[in-house]
């Protein structure tokens, strides 16, 4: 995850030429960034370069990427009145550049490895729109859920419907699998997830093109894993805060899991990385359906040679290539 990022000198060079949103909107540049890790690292799949908030721009919430701050919503949505003003998102008109990027990457890959598309899950995207950016406590989000539940559900219905069309557009353009990032849903209690999130995520997953694998990922979600499984997905992403075997048992061995090395391990030297990779593989126990991955995205401080070493170690220690 976060294959393309500031740890790569090639990516930093692109960012000196393009602002973040400008880079996302330029299919040639976005395709180049998507392909950089495939060529440099030898990974088994490419991951689309885009951003989870691109589809909210038509809502008029004032999306910006401020230097050093990340995504900022200048006009957050925090009341029933605010939500009532939001119209249906015309995904096809809003993000044609994303679909064109997928087409160009698919053509360039020529079947070498599959391309994974992605989107933000309704809760995580809503939390940005409500909070105005990242948060530690998500108090505006929770207040809206608790005090104005009808408005909250309208917001998530709008986002779920748009996200389904966004992912289906990526699939139609060539993505072989899609990942749904619910990065911030771990701030919720299980009862709140069940009442305020699960129905919308389930509706989204059910609206996706049949037969295309769906990876459902969140962070800090050890207590939510059975509920996330019930919401849908062919693969459940596990972060590093849960033992892999415990997480897999929580969702059931009839689904695949992805994970779950702590990204900070890649700051250590390769001998230690090797030890920790072996730990993850041992916990997977050789069962079919384990996709080795980090428990979240590559950190910008990570040496490129350590990420390359990780890929080589996984290939060596797993029996993926011997079957």
Catalytic residues: 2, 6, 15, 51, 128
Q: What is the CA radius of gyration of the chain?
A: 19
Residue with the two structure tokens 């090395």? 261
Q: Is the peptide bond before 260 cis (omega within 30 degrees of 0)?
A: yes
For residue 242, give the 3-state DSSP assignment: coil
Q: Please, what sign has the CA dihedral across residues 219, 222, 223, 226?
A: positive
Contact 51, 63 (CB under 8 A): no
CA distance 274 to 277: 5
Burial class (CB in 10 A: 0-12, 13-18, 19+), 158: buried
């Amino acid at each position: 995850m976060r294959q393309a990022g500031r740890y790569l000198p090639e990516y930093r060079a692109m960012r000196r030429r393009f602002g973040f949103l400008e880079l996302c909107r330029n299919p040639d540049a976005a395709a180049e960034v998507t392909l950089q890790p495939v060529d440099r690292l030898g990974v088994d799949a490419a991951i689309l370069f885009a951003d989870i908030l691109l589809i909210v721009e038509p809502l008029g919430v004032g999306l910006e990427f401020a230097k050093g701050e990340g995504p900022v919503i200048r006009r957050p949505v925090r009341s029933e009145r605010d939500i009532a003003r939001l119209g249906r998102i015309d995904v096809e008109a809003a993000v044609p550049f994303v679909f064109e990027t997928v087409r160009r990457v698919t053509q360039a890959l020529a079947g070498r490895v599959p391309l994974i598309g992605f989107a933000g899950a309704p809760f995580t995207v809503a939390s940005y729109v409500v909070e105005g950016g990242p948060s530690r406590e998500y108090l505006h989000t929770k207040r809206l859920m608790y005090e104005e539940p009808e408005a909250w559900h309208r917001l998530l219905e709008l986002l779920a419907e748009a996200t389904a069309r966004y992912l289906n557009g990526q699939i139609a353009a060539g993505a072989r699998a899609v990942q749904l990032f619910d990065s911030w849903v771990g701030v919720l209690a299980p009862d709140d997830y069940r009442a305020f999130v699960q129905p919308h995520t389930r509706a989204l997953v059910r609206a996706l093109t049949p037969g295309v694998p769906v990876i459902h990922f969140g962070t800090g979600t050890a207590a939510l894993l059975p509920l996330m499984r019930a919401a849908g997905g062919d693969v459940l992403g596990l972060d590093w805060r849960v033992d892999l075997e415990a997480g897999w048992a929580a969702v059931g061995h009839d689904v695949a899991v992805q994970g779950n090395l702590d990204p900070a391990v890649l700051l250590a030297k390769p001998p230690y990385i090797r030890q920790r990779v072996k730990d993850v593989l041992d916990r997977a126990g050789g069962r079919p359906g384990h996709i080795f991955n980090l428990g979240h995205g590559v950190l910008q401080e990570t040496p490129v040679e350590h990420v390359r070493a990780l890929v080589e170690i996984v290939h060596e220690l797993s029996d993926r290539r011997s079957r």
